Amino acid sequence: MPSPKDTLLTRDVILNLLSEEEVERVSLAETRTLEDGEYYVDLEHPEKGVLKVGIGEKPGSSRILPQSAVREETWSAIIRQLGR
């Protein structure tokens, strides 16, 4: 189980991968409902890795980073960071 410090460091690294435009889109995405099957990272618990919204589910956190809010290159970098 990662320590709170490791979780914060991972979250900071992920957020630093985003462009200013992507940061704005992620902020807006936190206020909308994700669609079934959409992939996201829970920024409160990045150690859980990439998650997928199931039918009728809602993410357990309001601090989410949906795949649809970032460029493909950024999403790939996030996946690499989470897999380290």
Residues 16-54 as b or e (16 or more Cβ within 10 Å = b): ebbeeebeebbeebbeeebeeebebbbbebbeeebbebe
Distance of CA 14 to the CA centre of its chain: 8
Q: pTM for the whole thing?
A: 0.82
User: Which one is predicted more confidently, 78 or 57?
Assistant: 78
pLDDT digits (tens, 9 = 90+) for 21-53: 999 888 877 667 788 899 999 988 898 999 999
